[in-house]
Amino acid sequence: MFISVLELFKIGVGPSSSHTLGPMVAANDFIARIKNQKLIGSSIKDAFIRCTLKGSLAYTGKGHSTDRAVALGLHGHLPASLADKDVAESG
């Protein structure tokens, strides 16, 4: 049986994929569910979302780029769609 390295390892943004993959996918799923339920229209300029990280995600969030992963997920991105893009923090 052949197993690809891509099946064994998942790559995410930041220094810790374990702190970015799940939060990005969860944020993406959350925003997709809101759109599917038509809870937001085409203009969401007055809407806001507050995300509170818990446990190890809260303790290492910024250092492991969890905050950026959540923001990317809320903007419709998934880890696979960012594999060939540079999403490193600028400045």
What pLDDT, on a 0 to 100 scale, did the predictor assign at position 66? 87
* Average pLDDT, consecutive stretches of 10 residues, N- to C-terminus, the chain (91 residues): 67 70 90 79 69 86 83 88 68 41
What pLDDT, on a 0 to 100 scale, did the predictor assign at position 91? 41
Please state, in angstroms and rounded to a whole number, the distance separating the CA atoms of residues 51 and 38.
20
Write the CB contacts of 18 (distance below 8 Å, at least 6 apart in sequence). 12
What pLDDT, on a 0 to 100 scale, did the predictor assign at position 19? 80
Write the CB contacts of 12 (distance below 8 Å, at least 6 apart in sequence). 18, 19, 20, 21, 24, 69, 79
